[in-house]
């Protein structure tokens, strides 16, 4: 059975979705860069080992990432899963986990990489927004895409309302992506694109606003 390590910085709602999904893998540990991350307590209640590697204890990203990698590697995971981990990782760290480092981002990448995705989507007046699970590369929020979920942007949406609608989809697609990985149903081809081994996609459109 595959092993994963989850990295968090806060409450870890996506981590909790993974814990509750009965994934075909062992969640070996949950690691946070913040000692006050409430997700650590959630993980402990599930009997999962937890660690804190506090970024403020290190003079630079390189030293922090080195200690983080050392903590992760003690578990020899097949995948490292970012679930609200709010640190930009160095290229050295990302290369160390090439093909093993997974993230979920609250936008339909490549649109709205970076922060404040929901506010930017509302500002631009887009009609469809969503989330993306992807492999992590040194190019921030632009790694190979595994799965995306789209939601309509409604006329009365605020940043908070839209965020909650997207988060509901995050909690659905992240467990699915990790399940595919652990069951070896997806892989990266020589062109750096995600290939499905057995899964067949069903094509249907989301149109917002709807057609009359």
Other CB atoms closer than 10 Å to residue 183's CB: what's the count? 15
- Measured CA to CA, the distance from residue 98 to residue 187 in angstroms comes to 12
Measured between alpha carbons, how far is 70 from 93 in angstroms, rounded to an integer?
Answer: 11
Sign of the CA dihedral with 65 first, then 173, 151, and 39 last: negative
Task: Determine whether 105 is an active site residue.
Answer: yes
Choosing from 105, 129, 134, 171, the catalytic residue is 105
Q: What is the DSSP secondary-structure string of 79-99?
A: EEEESS---PPPHHHHHHTTT
Q: How many CA atoms lie within 13 A of 38 on its CB side?
A: 5
Strand order in the sheet with 128-135: 49-52, 25-32, 2-8, 79-82, 101-105, 128-135, 145-152
Q: Tell me which residues are annotated as active site.
A: 105
């Amino acid at each position: 059975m595959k092993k994963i390590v989850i990295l968090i910085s806060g409450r870890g709602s996506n981590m909790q979705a993974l814990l509750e999904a009965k994934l075909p893998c062992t969640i070996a540990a949950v690691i946070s860069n913040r000692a006050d991350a409430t997700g650590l307590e959630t993980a402990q209640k599930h009997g999962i080992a937890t660690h804190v590697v506090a970024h403020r204890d290190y003079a630079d990203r390189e030293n922090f990432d080195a200690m983080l990698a050392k903590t992760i590697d003690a578990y020899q995971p097949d995948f490292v899963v970012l679930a609200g981990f709010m640190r930009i990782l160095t290229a050295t760290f990302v290369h160390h986990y090439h093909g093993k480092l997974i993230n979920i981002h609250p936008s339909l990448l490549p649109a709205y990489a970076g922060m404040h995705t929901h506010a930017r989507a509302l500002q631009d007046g887009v009609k469809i927004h969503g989330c993306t699970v992807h492999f992590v590369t040194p190019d921030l929020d632009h790694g190979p895409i595994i799965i995306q979920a789209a939601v309509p942007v409604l006329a009365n949406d605020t940043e908070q309302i839209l965020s909650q609608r997207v988060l509901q989809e995050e909690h659905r697609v992240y467990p699915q992506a990790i399940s595919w990985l652990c069951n070896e149903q997806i892989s990266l081809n020589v062109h750096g694109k995600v290939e499905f081994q057995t899964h067949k996609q069903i094509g249907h459109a989301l149109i917002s606003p709807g057609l009359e």
